[in-house]
Amino acid sequence: MSPRGATLAIPPPSLTPALLTRFALVQLSHSTRTDALSGIRFEHDGKPPKGSVVIVDMDGVISDASGRQHFLDGSNKDWWAFFEASVDDPPIPEVIGLVERLTENRTIILLTARPSGSADTTLEWLDRHGVRWDLLAMRKDDDHASSPEVKRAILLELRGDGYEPVLAIDDDPENLVMYRSEGVPTVYIHSGYYDT
C-alpha cells in the first residue's frame, strides 16, 4: 500500500535490480506548487515510524564531498558529474557517530538536495558505509529550485505525513536559517563548502 497521498512510481532506469529489491521507491503526488518542489522518497526496511524524526543532510555532513568540489568551480558548474562522483566520497565517521548518538530511538530522514537521478550512487554509498537511515528524500531531477526551497517543501510534506522534525543537521547556512524559521532546532556542521 502506498503512503497517504502517494502513488507508486516506475523506477528510474538508473536504479539497478539489486537496489530495487532492498529499497521501496515512492513518488509523491502533488497538488500545490509548494508540494511540487519535493521529490522522490526511498524507505529503508519498511515504512519508517512517524513522530519525532531527525533530518540529516548528506554532502559535507556525513559524506566528504571535498574531492569533487572542482566540478562546481567557475561558471561552468557540472552538477551531474558532481553528484555522480559522490559514490567515491569518504564517509565522515565523527559526524556519522554523532548522528547515531543524537538519533537513538528516532527515525533518521536523510534530506538531500541531490537529484533523484543520482539515487543509485547515493543508495550504494549508504549501503557500502553502513550508514543507518530510515527514509531518504531527494529532489526531482528537473527541479532547479534552491536547496532551502526544496528542503522547505519536503519538510512541510513530511510534517503533513505525520513526521515531526525535532532536529536538523546541515552544513549550508541558508538551510539552517530555513529550518529555524520553521521552528526546527539545528546543528551546524562546518564543511567549508560555503565559505566565501
Kindly give the parts of the chain with pLDDT less than 70.
1-41, 45-46, 194-196
Per-domain residue ranges for the chain?
A: 16-188
Task: Give me the sheet containing 135-139, strands edge to edge.
Answer: 6-8, 23-28, 40-44, 135-139, 107-115, 51-56, 163-170, 186-188
CATH class of 16-188: alpha beta
CB 126 within 8 A of CB 102: no
Q: What residues are paired with 168 via a beta bridge?
A: 55, 186
Note the pTM of the prediction, 2 decimals.
0.78
Contact yes or no for 11/25 (Cβ under 8 A): yes
Please report the pLDDT score of residue 109 as a whole number.
93
| pLDDT score recorded for residue 45 | 67
Decide: 28 and 143 in contact? Cβ < 8 Å.
no
Question: What's residue 39's pLDDT?
Answer: 60
